[in-house]
Amino acid sequence: MRIVIIGAGLLGVSTAWFLAKSGNEVVVIDRRSAPALETSFANGGMLTPSQAAPWNTPGIAWQILRLLGQDESPIRIKYSRLAGLAGWGTAFLRYSKSEHFRNNFQKNIRLARYSLDQVKMIRQQQGIVYDHSHQGTLKIFQSREALRHARALLEIAAPETIRYELLDQQAVIALEPALEPVSDTLAGGLYFPDDEAGDAHRFCLELANASSLAGVSFLYDTTLTAMVRQGNRIQSVRTTSGDLTADLYVLAAGSYSRMLAQSINLRLPIYPVKGYSLTIDTVNTPGRLPVLPVIDELRHIAVTPLGQRLRIAGKAELAGYDTTIDSRRSGLLLKFFRQLYPELASGLEPDAIQPWTGLRPYTCDGVPLIGSCSIENLILNTGHGHLGWTLAAGSGRLIADMISGNRPGLDLTPYALSRFE
């Protein structure tokens, strides 16, 4: 079967790899000059089934209101963008009801676990290197109440349990000695031993190379300008490199999937949620380096060691498709990092820090869109929100199995667009 994939981010590349392995003819198009140069470029680097909870937790409306009022809020809304946000935002709040949340959390956990197995398999089979580590994730808390709340949310996911250990202050420092200077501020932590970490961009580069060797054609610097729909099918796609035809088309264009789908009257409930990261080169940085990924519940940041670099990620902004780097917002990430790792931060050279921003393709229920839709030969693999790295390999495998007539490792129904009908 001939398949055109739109987008060479985590989702497009993973799909291409598994489709090629199943003997399909695959063409991937991307407007950029190489894979993973948009949201998959410098994300938090965490492969975390432990963080599979959709962001719309029960009570999120009050939490957003409270956070919006704070100077250094992790959440920001550009009020000039409210018009495009209303429908998605209302649904986002609706899906925070306990029964939806539990259901959606479980869907993500199942997919995250399956996905991690696929990542391990790719790593073992291909021997690809992407600064990966498998030491788990540590989540730290500054108050007992926040810790109790986090545990309660994890219990909601039962029976799809996530393995974790409850840590007191001493145990947190024993696990991550680089936090010792701030030990007095910590109430405890949760350690998730099954999580992994790694550089998504490097993973995509390596997997795209392997896919090319397996026969996939990558058309870079190629923008999709229109999908030509005839009745219930896509007839062809128009690109800046000419028209392309295929038996099937896979839409994996991240936050832009919504716009592209809109042009053929297909509504995808995705909104771009902007985030920031800093990448710090630690080669010449004196001081104790962190040894494992840490999520700070209070500051809403994640700090992940990636080989000889550290990745600091956070922030959630509803600002449409604006991808400019606001130095005040990236400066806040640095400020929080300095608060958390004061010893390490005191030796940092400013030119060792690389700021970045990306748009998380967020569905209104926090679960990705994977599988068929009302257009017969269009397959969706998009809307993975804050979990695109965690869920990519599994999503790619599921799509490839579905298309190739193999029995998918998970039932795809819970991830279908039709759940919104």
Distance (Å) of CA 185 to CA 148, 160, 339 = 17, 32, 11
Residue (53 or 173) nearer to ligand FAD, CB: 53
Residue (179 or 301) nearer to ligand FAD, CB: 301
Q: Helices marked H in 7-143 — which ranges? A: 10-21, 60-68, 82-94, 98-126
Residue (188 or 394) nearer to ligand FAD, CB: 394
Least Å from the CB of residue 168 to ligand FAD: 26
Count other Cβ atoms within 10 Å, centred on residue 152: 10
Task: Report which of 403, 324, 410, 321 is spatially closest to residue 368, judged by C-alpha positions.
Answer: 410
Residue (14 or 24) nearer to ligand FAD, CB: 14
> Which residue type is seen at 7?
G
Q: Which residues contact 210 (CB under 8 A, 6 or more apart)?
A: 17, 126, 128
Least Å from the CB of residue 90 to ligand FAD: 23
Least Å from the CB of residue 161 to ligand FAD: 20
Residue (26 or 187) nearer to ligand FAD, CB: 26
Residue (187 or 252) nearer to ligand FAD, CB: 252
Looking at beta carbons, which residue is closest to ligand FAD?
Answer: 388
Least Å from the CB of residue 31 to ligand FAD: 4
Least Å from the CB of residue 25 to ligand FAD: 19
Q: Rounded distance, CA 198 to CA 200, Å?
A: 6
Name the residues that contact ligand FAD, by CB under 6 A: 6-12, 29-32, 36-40, 43-46, 223-224, 252-254, 256, 260, 275-277, 313, 358, 360-361, 382, 384-390
Give every strand in the sheet of 217-219, ordered side by side: 217-219, 25-29, 2-6, 248-251, 378-382, 369-372
Least Å from the CB of residue 286 to ligand FAD: 27
Q: Helices marked H in 95-168 — which ranges? A: 98-126, 144-156
Using only C-alpha atoms, what is the Rg of the chain?
Answer: 21
